[in-house]
Amino acid sequence: MQTFWLARVAVAVVVFGMAAAGCTELSVSVSRPTPLSQFLAQSRASLAGVYRLVPGDQLTARFYYNPQLDEDFQVRPDGHISLSLIGELRAAGKTPNELSTEITNAYAQYFVKPTAVVIVRQFTGYRVFASGELRNPGQVNLVSGARTVLEGLAATGGVTETGTLTQVILIRRLPTMKQPMVAELDLSEALSGDDPSQNVDLMPNDFIFVPRSGAANVNLAMQQYLFRNLNLSTGINAGASYFINN
């Protein structure tokens, strides 16, 4: 059982690394999942931080005393933005307030009161990834799509008949930690109301992996066994019939 669990985690972590790091494989050694109480405590501590811009975020700069300078732009893949008058600025990794201050200072050489305020129109970083035994695996938007793990799975169309809710893997990378945390959730306990804490609140860039159920693995093995033996026996019978009739 331990070996099987590690195999599932290894697959999930590799997929998580490819999705969240631009197809760069993420390697991590995990001997056991993080206890749920510790997983939640460390997540709550991280939530106390402020939002930092990421590539893909769509922004608007508002200049209250110089509205002619108002401009919409997007954080490029290289983390920079381009403004009409001052050119390029680094945006990724900064808070909206920090970028507002930097833009204001950059325009100060041209205007008396260039007070700029950066507004985030679309949070690209607010999405999670879901894979495994799901009807429509892929990205889920946290702003409009889901808040908890169960809501995230529902946004993908739900778990297939071959999936299980008793051993769902949630992988989370926090800015304060070098290695991702891994939690194994029994969402059937959350659905029954016996343990609502299993339905964890999602955070940006979480990775959800729904494994194949034990019964589904047995059924798949049986189908493969029967298919191979049926093809083999059919081929033998067909060959024997050919030689007998000819």
Do 134 and 197 share a domain, yes or no? yes
* Domain identity same for 42 and 62: no
Residue 11's pLDDT band, with cuts at 50, 70 and 90, is: very low
Query: For 214, what's the count of Cα atoms within 13 Å in the CB-facing half-sphere?
Result: 5
Which token pair is 54? Answer: 């990421």
| pLDDT at residue number 2 | 42
* 15 lies in some domain: yes
Average pLDDT, the chain: 81
How far is 206 from 173, CA to CA, in rounded Å?
Answer: 7
Look at residue 232 and tell me whether its pLDDT is greater than 90: no
Quote the pLDDT of residue 126: 84
Please count the other Cβ atoms lying within 10 Å of the Cβ belonging to residue 109.
9
Q: What is the predicted pLDDT for the residue at 20?
A: 45
pLDDT grade, residue 225 (50/70/90)? low
More confident site: 119 or 21 = 119
Check residue 186 and give its pLDDT: 96
pLDDT of residue 236: 42
Domain identity same for 103 and 142: no
Residue at 31 is within a domain: yes
> Mean pLDDT throughout 92-108?
94
Q: Which domain holds residue 185?
A: 2-49+127-213
Same structural domain for residues 169 and 73? no
**154 within a domain of the structure (yes/no):** yes
According to the model, what pLDDT value does residue 124 have?
84
Average pLDDT over every residue of 69-88? 93
Per-residue pLDDT of 168-197, as tens digits, reads: 999 998 877 888 999 999 999 999 999 999
Q: Per-residue pLDDT for 202 more than 90? A: yes
Spatial contact of 156 and 135, defined as CB atoms under 8 Å apart? yes
Please indicate, yes or no, whether residues 152 and 186 belong to a single structural domain of this protein.
Answer: yes
Reply yes or no on whether the pLDDT at 22 is more than 70: no
- Total tally of structural domains belonging to the chain: 2
Residue 245 lies in a domain: no
Task: Name the residue with higher pLDDT: 219 or 117.
Answer: 117
pLDDT band (50, 70, 90) for residue 242: very low
Q: Which residue has the higher pLDDT, 146 or 215?
A: 146
- Asked if residue 41 and residue 88 are part of one domain, the reply reads no
How far, CA to CA in Å, does 204 sit from each of 2, 64, 142, 148? 29, 32, 7, 11
Long-range CB contact pairs, 79-86, < 8 A, 24+: 79/55, 85/110
How would you class 219 by CB atoms within 10 Å of its CB: exposed for 0-12, middle for 13-18, buried for 19 or more? middle
Is residue 35 domain-shared with residue 83, that is, in the same domain?
no
Whether residue 217 is predicted with pLDDT greater than 70 in this model: the reply is: no
- Residue 181 shares a structural domain with residue 86: no
pLDDT level of residue 143 (50, 70, 90 thresholds): confident
The phi, psi pair for 206, rounded to 5°, reads -60, 155
The CATH number for 42's domain is 3.10.560.10
Report yes or no on 236 lying in a domain: no
The better pLDDT of the pair 103, 50 is held by 103
How high is the pLDDT of residue 59?
96
Mean pLDDT value across residues 149-173: 94
- How much is the pLDDT for 218? 60
45 and 155 both lie in a single domain: yes
96 and 131 belong to one structural domain: no
Look up the CATH number of the domain holding residue 82.
3.30.1950.10
pTM of the model: 0.66
Residue with tokens 């008058």: 85
Contact between 119 and 134 (Cβ < 8 Å): no
Q: How big, in percent rounded to 5, are the helix, strand and coil portions of the chain?
A: 40, 20, 40
Question: Within this chain, do residues 33 and 77 fall inside the same structural domain, yes or no?
Answer: no
